[in-house]
Structure formats: structure tokens, C-alpha cells
Amino acid sequence: MTDHVKTDVEAGILTITLARADKKNALTNAMYGALADALDRAEKDPAIRVVLIQGDGDSFTAGNDLADFSAQSKGTHEGEKHVFRFLKNLAKATRPLVAAVQGNAVGVGTTMLLHCDLVYVADTARLMTPFVNLALVPEAASSHLLPARVGHARAYAMFALGEPVDGATAASIGLANAVVPVAELRAKARSAAEALTKRPLGALAHTKALMRPVEAISAQMDREGAIFQERLKTAEAREAFAAFAERRQPDFSTVAG
């Protein structure tokens, strides 16, 4: 489907690598499809015991490719939106998910981490959820999961003001297990993934299920997704995407919500 998502299975670990470094690993519809397919594979292949997600280059991911968002806001996007399949697969994943995050993790680059069981961030990491800046709303059930993790006040600032969280802060507030020098990031995440492969798979799956109310998470994703799609078609969203394309600050003062 795309060369921008690479997968490799070794020693029980499926490594998924975002490989669009020239675009800061911005996620296209095709990339979401490849990510969803990889998570499907992990659930079906008994040889896969752990999933490790990482990104090439200096960023984990810049989030959704804004050209895709713009196409949806104009009604020109055609075909299945694979992002929904990817998010649902995150929600219902039974295999442990481990993430290695360097540089910018924007939008879904941060919200997907709320579904990962172990998260390691580099000292270069910057986690951002600037949905409101684009006249949108949170996704991936993050409107529930992020406040539950870091508290309402901090979550609201991340959503509404787009305030970034650096690697050290992410670790201190519970968004990550540890912060490490960027040169050590992949080795640290890989070591954790290897440790999980040595644990009993059934016990890990039941532990994860007990910790995560999958039906409630999935229902919140549906609620967010419906509002998100409505917001993409608003005048506010069109102004936000136009401003981004024109490299100017958006002006929402005269735009109807």
C-alpha cells in the first residue's frame, strides 16, 4: 500500500517504522492503512508477541498530513478513511505495544501513545496535540484518556493551547516510562520489547484487558470521530488549512463556528 511504513518481524517483535522522514513522517491515508494492516497482522500471527512502533529521521511523526485534511474539508477525498481502522485496532490490540519517540510527536503522534503499554521518549521529544489550532477536536479517545493520565488542567492546555510537552516532562507526568538520550532511544525501546517477549503472552493479554475498558474507549472514538468529521467541513477548518497553506496566522474572529 505504501513504502512509507516498514515492517519487520524478528525474535517475536513486529517493528513498525514510519519511513517518511523527508516529510517528518506526516501520516497519509495510505500510511494509516499500512499501520492498520500491521496491527491486524500482529493479532493473527502467533509468532508476534510484541509490537514496537518507531519513526525514522528527527521526528516520530508530524501527525496527519494536512493535505489529506484539506481534501476532506473541501469534500474531495475519496475512498475509505483508514485512520478509523488504525485507531480501532489500537483500541482493541491485545499484543503489548511499545513506542520509541524522538522529536515532534504531533496530534495522533501523541494520542496513539495513550494506547501504548510502554513509551520511551528521547530528550529531543516534543509531544503536541494542537487540534483546536486547526479548528478540530481530539481523537483516538484522547479526550478521555489524556485527562485521566495527566489531569484536566494540563490536558486542556495541551488541547486548547497546543502547548508542547518535552521529553523530561512527558516522563514526569506519566506520558512516558522514561526519557533517554536520542542515541539510546531505539536500543532502550527494543530492550523493553525483548523483555516482554519473555513474559507469558496470555497473562499479558489479560492484564492489558483488565487495565483498558475497550468498549468505552471504542465508543469515545466513535463520538470524537463523528464530531471530527463534522468539524473538517466547517468554515473554521477551511480558514485554518488555508492559513497553513499560505503560511499566515489564521483569523477566526469573523468565521462562524
Looking at residue 39, its pLDDT comes to 98
Looking at residue 66, its pLDDT comes to 82
Looking at residue 79, its pLDDT comes to 65
Looking at residue 255, its pLDDT comes to 84
CATH assignment at residue 102: 3.90.226.10
Low-confidence ranges of the chain (pLDDT < 70): 1, 69-70, 72-79, 257
Looking at the domain assignment, is residue 140 inside a domain?
A: yes
Looking at the domain assignment, is residue 190 inside a domain?
A: no
Looking at the domain assignment, is residue 187 inside a domain?
A: no
Looking at residue 67, its pLDDT comes to 80
Looking at the domain assignment, is residue 215 inside a domain?
A: no
Contact between 93 and 42 (Cβ < 8 Å): yes
Coil/strand/helix, residue 105? strand
Contact between 217 and 141 (Cβ < 8 Å): yes
Looking at the domain assignment, is residue 202 inside a domain?
A: no
Whole-angstrom Cα distance, residue 72 to residue 205? Answer: 36
Edge-first strand order for the sheet with 165-166 is: 104-106, 126-128, 165-166
Looking at residue 96, its pLDDT comes to 98
Contact between 54 and 15 (Cβ < 8 Å): yes
Looking at the domain assignment, is residue 254 inside a domain?
A: no
Quote the number of domains for the chain. 1
Whole-angstrom Cα distance, residue 27 to residue 34? Answer: 10
Looking at the domain assignment, is residue 210 inside a domain?
A: no
In tens, the pLDDT along 134-190 reads 999 999 999 999 999 999 999 999 999 999 999 999 999 999 999 999 999 999 999
Looking at the domain assignment, is residue 250 inside a domain?
A: no
Per the structure, the complete domain to which residue 11 belongs is given by 5-182
